[in-house]
Amino acid sequence: SDYAIKGADCNVIPEVVKVIQEFHNAKKPQGFLCISPILAARVLCTVKITLGKNSCDKWPHRGAIEDAKKMGATVELRNWDEVSFDEENLIFSSPAYMYDGQYHEIDDGIGHMVKYMLVMLRKGKLKPKEKCAPRDCKH
């Protein structure tokens, strides 16, 4: 995408849009780390994601939170080791390198998201409440 240049008005590469939409329409879970939840926000519009927190210097990319909100996303403020799960859209996200932390902290946070996804899959809890509605968004 050209998010780094255009911010909330960014365009997403068509192949990426296609993959995100196809997974969404097939009701398959998707995981987004670091800045990539902004892609889910741009393509699916009304998703719930995290991009970290909007406080202190440990979150140097916190401006992305407001951009995601402009795109229609609900943004949960989560710590580096926490996961946001959008049950309706089957979207998992975690801040990763949105946080200016140690490598082992980032690795732990990513591991938490992967583990949470696997636990939910094993328990059969990754079924949307209802059919996913098509989105009418500009990509």
**Sequence spans of domains, the chain:** 3-122
Q: Cα 26–121–89 angle (5° rounding)?
A: 40
Architecture field, domain 3-122: 3-Layer(aba) Sandwich (3.40)
**What does the pLDDT profile of the chain (139 residues) look like in tens digits?**
999 999 999 999 999 999 999 999 999 999 999 999 999 999 998 999 999 999 888 999 999 999 999 999 999 999 999 999 999 999 999 999 999 999 999 999 999 999 999 998 888 876 655 545 545 566 5
Residue 69, helix vs strand vs coil: helix
What does the alpha-carbon distance between residue 109 and residue 120 come to, in Å, rounded to a whole number? 17
Dihedrals phi, psi of 100, to nearest 5 degrees? -90, 70
